[in-house]
Amino acid sequence: MRISDLVAQYIINMLEENDGDAEIRRNELAETIGCVPSQINYVITSRFTPEQGYLVESRRGGGGYIRITRIQMDHRSTVLHLINSIGDSIDTKTAVSLINELLTRNLITLPIAKLMTSAISDRPYQTVPSEYRDNMRAAILKTMLLSTCT
């Protein structure tokens, strides 16, 4: 398992043990896991984003901390939040991450996740000029997300 996966799993476990809230000290966590503090930053900025359903607050200084809170929203609010966060374009990697987050939160089923992942993969867009692919992918993903609200 990669260090970034270990860090993410450690934080997720903390969130689960504390009802969706985790307060960490970056240096202490890095020492516990056996990595450099910058890897903690990388994991937090890439895996604990508002689009993935988390709020991150940090306080710098000697007693500094990073507080991560899992956002609790109903299905419709979550989907509408995600649609707003997509904007006019989305790349494949970000779209897959978003779909995986929906699956993890049990907001979509595995068959729906597979269907959505197929629809936003690069293959269907091969004939579309490259400068339009991410825009088309975003529009299709938003439409699929909206259909999960009805």
Tokens encoding 50 = 């508002």
pTM as predicted: 0.60
CATH topology of domain 3-70: Phenylalanyl-tRNA Synthetase; Chain B, domain 1 (3.30.56)
Question: What is the bridge-based pairing of β-strands 65-70 and 54-59?
Answer: antiparallel
Q: Give the pLDDT score at 73.
A: 74
From start to end of 50-147, where are the E strands?
Answer: 54-59, 65-70
- Between CA 17 and CA 93 the distance in angstroms is 29
Tokens encoding 147 = 């259909």
User: Does position 50 have pLDDT exceeding 90, yes or no?
Assistant: no
- Between CA 85 and CA 68 the distance in angstroms is 19
Q: Give the pLDDT score at 102.
A: 86
Beta-bridged to residue 65, according to DSSP, are 59
Sign of torsion over alpha carbons 98, 17, 70, 31: negative
Mean pLDDT of 53-79: 80
User: Does position 26 have pLDDT exceeding 70, yes or no?
Assistant: yes
Q: Give ranges for CATH 3.30.56.130 in the chain.
A: 3-70
Mean pLDDT of 49-62: 78
